[in-house]
Amino acid sequence: MSPKIVRVSVRDVRFPTSLEQHGSDAMHTDPDYSAAYVVLETDGGLRGFGLTFTLGKGTEIVVCAVQAMTGLVVGKSLEEIVRDFRGFYRLLTSDGQMRWLGPEKGVIHLATAALLNAVWDLWARMEGKPLWKLLVDMSPERLVSCIDFRYITDVLTEEEALELLVKAQEGKRQREEEMLREGYPAYTTSCAWLGYSDQQLKQLCTDALKGGWTKFKVKVGADLDDDVRRCRLIRQMIGPDNTLMIDANQRWDVSEAISWVSNLAEVKPLWIEEPTSPDDILGHAAISKALAPLGIGVATGEQCHNRVMFKQFLQAGALQFVQIDSCRLGSVNENLAVLLMAHKFRVPVCPHAGGVGLCELVQHLILFDYICVSASLSNRMCEYVDHLHEHFVCPVVIHNARYMPPKIPGYSCEMLESSVKKHQYPDGDAWKLYPKK
Amino acid sequence: MSPKIVRVSVRDVRFPTSLEQHGSDAMHTDPDYSAAYVVLETDGGLRGFGLTFTLGKGTEIVVCAVQAMTGLVVGKSLEEIVRDFRGFYRLLTSDGQMRWLGPEKGVIHLATAALLNAVWDLWARMEGKPLWKLLVDMSPERLVSCIDFRYITDVLTEEEALELLVKAQEGKRQREEEMLREGYPAYTTSCAWLGYSDQQLKQLCTDALKGGWTKFKVKVGADLDDDVRRCRLIRQMIGPDNTLMIDANQRWDVSEAISWVSNLAEVKPLWIEEPTSPDDILGHAAISKALAPLGIGVATGEQCHNRVMFKQFLQAGALQFVQIDSCRLGSVNENLAVLLMAHKFRVPVCPHAGGVGLCELVQHLILFDYICVSASLSNRMCEYVDHLHEHFVCPVVIHNARYMPPKIPGYSCEMLESSVKKHQYPDGDAWKLYPKK
Name the phi and psi angles at A61, rounded to 5: -70, -40
Least confident of A24-28, A345-349, B331-335: A24-28
Nearest Cα residue to A354 out of A12, A30, A55, A132:
A55
> Residue B197 above 60 pLDDT?
yes
Question: A257 at the B interface (CB within 8 A)?
Answer: no
Nearest Cα residue to B109 out of B146, B148, B62:
B62
What does the pLDDT look like over A203-215, one tens digit per residue?
A: 999 999 999 999 9
What does the pLDDT look like over B206-226, one tens digit per residue?
A: 999 999 999 999 999 999 999
Cβ atoms within 10 Å, residue A399: 11
The one-character DSSP state at A190 is T
Could you say which of B55, B101, B311 has the minimum Cβ distance to residue A100?
Answer: B55
A282 and B316 in contact by Cβ < 8 A?
A: yes
Distance in angstroms between the alpha carbons of the first and the last residue of chain B = 46
Q: How many residues does chain B have?
A: 437
Q: Which residue has the higher pLDDT, A27 or B120?
A: B120
**Residues 6 or more apart in contact with residue A346 via CB below 8 angstroms:** none
What does the pLDDT look like over B401-419, one tens digit per residue?
A: 999 999 999 999 999 999 9
Could you say which of A101, A283, A303 has the minimum Cβ distance to residue B107?
Answer: A101
SS3 content of chain A, % helix, strand, coil (to 5): 45, 15, 40
What does the pLDDT look like over A386-424, one tens digit per residue?
A: 989 999 999 999 999 999 999 999 999 999 999 999 999
| Region for A421 from its dihedrals, namely left if φ exceeds 0, alpha if ψ lies in -120 to 50, beta otherwise | alpha
What is the overall mean pLDDT for chain A?
A: 96
CA pseudo-torsion sign B325, B331, B333, B334 = negative
Q: What is the pLDDT of residue A161?
A: 98
The alpha-carbon radius of gyration of chain B (Å, integer) is 21
**From B352, B364, B391, B423, active-site residue:** B352
Name the phi and psi angles at B106, rounded to 5: 65, -150
What does the pLDDT look like over A296-318, one tens digit per residue?
A: 999 999 999 999 999 999 999 99
CA pseudo-torsion sign B19, B22, B23, B27 = positive
- Catalytic status, residue B202: no
What band does A27 get if pLDDT is binned at 50, 70 and 90? confident
| Region for A3 from its dihedrals, namely left if φ exceeds 0, alpha if ψ lies in -120 to 50, beta otherwise | beta
* Chain A hits for B29, Cβ within 8 Å: 96
Distance CA B92, CA A412 (A): 35
* Chain B hits for A31, Cβ within 8 Å: 96-97, 100
What does the pLDDT look like over B50-87, one tens digit per residue?
A: 999 999 999 999 999 999 999 999 999 999 999 999 99
Distance CA A107, CA A118 (A): 17
Class of the domain covering B165-417: alpha beta
Q: What is the pLDDT of residue A195?
A: 81
Q: What is the pLDDT of residue B25?
A: 81
Q: What is the pLDDT of residue A279?
A: 98
Distance CA B182, CA B201 (A): 28
What is the overall mean pLDDT for chain B?
A: 96
B61 and A153 in contact by Cβ < 8 A?
A: no
- Catalytic status, residue A219: yes
B150 and A97 in contact by Cβ < 8 A?
A: no
**Residues 6 or more apart in contact with residue A272 via CB below 8 angstroms:** A245, A246, A247, A248, A257, A261, A264, A287, A291, A296, A297, A298, A299
Distance CA A267, CA B334 (A): 38
> Residue B389 above 90 pLDDT?
yes
> Residue A35 above 80 pLDDT?
yes
B96 and A54 in contact by Cβ < 8 A?
A: no
* Chain A hits for B425, Cβ within 8 Å: none
B151 and A32 in contact by Cβ < 8 A?
A: no
> Residue B279 above 80 pLDDT?
yes
Question: B106 at the A interface (CB within 8 A)?
Answer: yes
Q: Report the relative pairing of strands A184-188 and A382-384 from DSSP bridges.
A: parallel
Question: B279 at the A interface (CB within 8 A)?
Answer: yes
Mean pLDDT calculated for residue range B158-166:
98
* Chain A hits for B311, Cβ within 8 Å: 280, 282
What does the pLDDT look like over B11-41, one tens digit per residue?
A: 999 999 888 777 778 788 889 999 999 999 9
A312 and B254 in contact by Cβ < 8 A?
A: no
What band does A28 get if pLDDT is binned at 50, 70 and 90? confident
Whole-complex ipTM: 0.97
Distance CA A75, CA A167 (A): 38
> Residue B437 above 60 pLDDT?
no
What band does A223 get if pLDDT is binned at 50, 70 and 90? very high
- Provide the residue ranges of all domains of chain A, joining segments of one domain with +: 165-417
Q: What is the pLDDT of residue A436?
A: 56
| Region for A303 from its dihedrals, namely left if φ exceeds 0, alpha if ψ lies in -120 to 50, beta otherwise | alpha
Q: What is the pLDDT of residue B436?
A: 56
**Residues 6 or more apart in contact with residue A212 via CB below 8 angstroms:** A400, A401
Q: What is the pLDDT of residue B434?
A: 66
Question: A283 at the B interface (CB within 8 A)?
Answer: yes
Mean pLDDT calculated for residue range A333-355:
98
What band does A435 get if pLDDT is binned at 50, 70 and 90? low
What band does A434 get if pLDDT is binned at 50, 70 and 90? low
| Percent of residues, chain A, with pLDDT higher than 70 | 99
